[in-house]
Amino acid sequence: MNAQAHGYTGLNIRGLAGEVGIKAASIYYHFPSKAELGAAVARRYWEETARDLEMIREAAGDALSSLGRYPEIFRRSLEAGNRLCMGSFMSAEYDDLPEAVKVEVQTFSDVNIDWLAKQLLEANITATQDSKLRAGAIFSAIAGAQLMARSRNDIKLFDELIEGYKLAGLLPSTQNSMSE
Amino acid sequence: MNAQAHGYTGLNIRGLAGEVGIKAASIYYHFPSKAELGAAVARRYWEETARDLEMIREAAGDALSSLGRYPEIFRRSLEAGNRLCMGSFMSAEYDDLPEAVKVEVQTFSDVNIDWLAKQLLEANITATQDSKLRAGAIFSAIAGAQLMARSRNDIKLFDELIEGYKLAGLLPSTQNSMSE
DNA sequence: ACCTGAACACCGTTCAAGT
DNA sequence: ACCTGAACACCGTTCAAGT
């Protein structure tokens, strides 16, 4: 939670220990290092996202409307205290991350891209060989939109950028409401 | 330079002092705080980018091929030690940035988006009222691509994502070479 | 099995003092 | 005008010691 709001460097062992009600040194009984603690946080984050993606797919029914709801995942992160998704968040300080954390961060984008590629294929938007490329493009574009919306502290900007992606043809234009 | 590679938190006063050949305390004769130092670095970065954009425009001749060369700016950052552009880089730790630094980071994206909007309009790709939206979409998408390519340590991935944006219609498909 | 105090080398920052 | 040493409160980490 701390890591999601402030990144890996922002993850504070002494502060976290205080929240939990133990001393900083005691953290090292549960985790061998800050690196492993960070990896555990990141792991939990992408696992949660994987569950969210499954839920979206089930709730939406078909692949096309699943794709339409995909940006919600990143939007929710912004809503919850204007946070970044762990993936793009930590990528910024990627060079300085311990290996164990890097692995989890990469898994996060893998989970997202695999899911997107599957929906794109099922919705007949891309051919088999193009699905991965298009999925990556969508993921990176939305991560970028989230990054920017956060820096402007402006969720409406996120919605506008997503709209811009739809108009340009990067995202499929799904009719979410009946009225249009 | 340090800040571009490791972000604001990575900017190390004691280390920087060592590189310059003075003591850490002496830094405070030249800059009142790390915040102002960071702001100065960020300012210099967007000023340099503004010059690069002018150069691209002049070298390319017309607006359409200027747009085609725009991703080069972000690509060069990756080439130079797999770095991130200051804009997306610092956005990740945005919450924790001092005000003075935030201002410069926002100016960076303003400079980019204004330039893009101008080219889009001149190239007749967007109408006046849509130019800003499309410019923002392009900027955030490319920043996202850079972010991801960096996290994979893979410049080829950046090129692929840009290609994906072109195929999807977000970026104009410019013919850079004669042979195709 | 779980926690602690004390110490280590780091960090940004201040300030009185040196040239 | 520019630099310094010494101190401050922070940080992650280690380790011997406590229950």
For B122-143, how does the pLDDT look when each residue is reduced to its tens digit (9 = 90+)?
A: 999 999 999 999 999 999 999 9
Confidence check: pLDDT of A129 > 90: yes
Confidence check: pLDDT of B81 > 80: no
B 153-172: CB under 8 A from A: 157, 160-161, 163-165, 167-170
The minimum CA-CA distance between B146 and chain A, rounded to whole Å, is 8
- How confident is the model at residue B131, as a pLDDT? 97
- How confident is the model at residue B68, as a pLDDT? 97
Among left, alpha and beta (phi > 0; psi -120 to 50; other), residue A124 is: left
User: Does A7 contact B at CB distance below 8 Å?
Assistant: yes
The beta strand positions in A37-156, using DSSP E, are none
Q: Report chain A residues whose CB lies below 8 A from the CB of B165.
A: 137, 141, 170
- Give backbone dihedrals phi and psi of A93, rounded to 5 degrees, phi first: -105, 25
- How confident is the model at residue B152, as a pLDDT? 87
A3 touches strand D (CB under 7 A): no
Query: HEC states along chain B?
Result: CHHHHHHHHHCCHHHHHHHHCCCHHHHHHHCCCHHHHHHHHHHHHHHHHHHHHHHHHHHHCCHHHHHHHCHHHHHHHHHCCCCCCHHHHHHCCHHHCCHHHHHHHHHHHHHHHHHHHHHHHHCCCCCHHHHHHHHHHHHHHHHHHHHHHHHHCCHHHHHHHHHHHHHHCCCCCCCCCCCC
Confidence check: pLDDT of A124 > 50: yes
Average pLDDT over residues A130-150: 95
User: Does B86 contact A at CB distance below 8 Å?
Assistant: no
Contact check, Cβ <8 Å, B137/A164 = yes
Confidence check: pLDDT of B1 > 60: no
CA distance B148 to A60: 28
- How confident is the model at residue A177, as a pLDDT? 43
- How confident is the model at residue A83, as a pLDDT? 63
| Nucleotides of D strand lying within 7 Å of any protein CB atom | 2-6, 10-16
| Nucleotides of C strand lying within 7 Å of any protein CB atom | 2-6, 10-16
What is the b/e burial string over B88-108, where b = at least 16 CB atoms within 10 angstroms of the residue's CB?
bbbbbbbbbbeebbbebbbbb
For A24-47, how does the pLDDT look when each residue is reduced to its tens digit (9 = 90+)?
A: 999 999 999 999 999 999 999 999
Confidence check: pLDDT of A74 > 60: yes
Confidence check: pLDDT of B99 > 70: yes
Confidence check: pLDDT of B177 > 50: no
Q: Which of A94, A95, A137 sits opposite B168 (nearest CB)?
A: A137
Average pLDDT over residues B14-28: 96
- How confident is the model at residue B96, as a pLDDT? 79
For B149-169, how does the pLDDT look when each residue is reduced to its tens digit (9 = 90+)?
A: 988 889 999 999 999 999 999
